């Protein structure tokens, strides 16, 4: 089973740069997309609905902003398009979609960024607190989970080029990284990429400023977060950088799972 997660920073822009041609060539079973930055009615069927895939979108109410999607070869048993009670503010921003396939749930998640200022950082902290509780509830369900997406947080020093210089910047704040410590610790989730690739400097996002891409001054903020029952199913992981569809690179993980 091959799953790709990709923040496209505009689905129409990424499409024009060849994302869907690349995607279909990978023959993934499920693709989780973040930051579509479009309303579904604005999408061209030929360009944005690959043949052989079911497509599901959650748009932000604000046009040209946020938005998530899931593409799947197999039709899901159920699609959930909101986090629901207590998350109305985040649901209005189009940040969560879940597809259920039997006892497996796959999520496309776009966690808020706090980089635009203190107000949005507080929104991010609020979401982390609420979503942390939801994640713990999800572990009580008799399901396996693969939560794909842009978490907008690096975890450890090996996940960012300029560790010391970013300690006071959103995405690398001690409080944010402590949240990931909880996620991959007491809350009992697993960073699928790190199951098979312990190397440093494996980044998924590069600033458009300076020569970050050329110099590989990056951050690893895109994840596939899995439940422990899937740890031994992770076979391979790859970050695709040969083409640039967005300021993020797609993350592909292969699982020893029937689909």
Catalytic sites, residue numbers: 150
**Phi, psi at 235, each rounded to 5°:** -105, -40
CB 130 within 8 A of CB 96: no
Quickly list DSSP for the chain: -EEEEEE-SSHHHHHHTTHHHHHHHT--SEEEEE---S-GGGS-HHHHS-TT-EEEEE--SSTTS--EEEEESSPPSEEE----TT-HHHHTTT-EEEEEETTEEEEEEEPPP-TT-HHHHHHHHHHHHHHHHHHHHHTTSSSEEEEEEE-----SGGGBS-TGGGTTSTTS-HHHHHHHHHHTTTT--EEHHHHH---S---SEE-SSTTHHHHT-EE--EEEEE-GGGGGGEEEEEE--SS-SSSB--EEEEES---
């Amino acid at each position: 089973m091959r799953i790709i997660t990709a923040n496209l920073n505009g689905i129409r822009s990424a499409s024009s740069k060849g994302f869907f041609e690349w995607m279909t060539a990978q023959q993934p079973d499920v693709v989780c997309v973040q930051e579509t930055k479009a309303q579904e009615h604005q999408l061209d069927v030929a360009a944005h609905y690959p043949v052989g895939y079911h497509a599901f979108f959650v748009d932000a109410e604000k046009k040209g902003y946020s938005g998530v999607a899931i593409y799947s070869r197999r039709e899901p048993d159920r699609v959930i398009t909101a986090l629901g009670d207590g998350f109305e503010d985040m649901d209005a921003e189009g940040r969560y979609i879940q597809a259920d396939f039997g006892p497996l749930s796959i999520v496309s998640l776009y966690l808020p960024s706090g980089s635009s200022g203190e107000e949005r950082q507080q929104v991010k902290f609020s979401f982390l607190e609420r979503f942390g509780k939801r994640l713990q509830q999800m572990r009580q369900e008799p399901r396996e989970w693969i939560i794909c997406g842009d978490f907008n947080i690096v975890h450890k020093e090996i996940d960012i080029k300029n560790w010391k210089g970013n300690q006071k910047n959103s995405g690398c704040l001690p409080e944010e990284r402590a949240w990931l410590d909880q996620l991959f610790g007491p809350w009992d989730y697993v960073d699928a990429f790190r199951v098979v690739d312990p190397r440093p400097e494996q980044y998924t996002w590069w600033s458009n400023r300076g020569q970050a891409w050329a110099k590989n001054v990056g951050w690893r903020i895109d994840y596939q977060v899995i439940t422990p029952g899937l740890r031994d199913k992770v076979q391979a992981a790859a970050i695709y950088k040969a083409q640039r569809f967005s300021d993020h690179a797609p993350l592909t993980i292969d699982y020893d799972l029937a689909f």
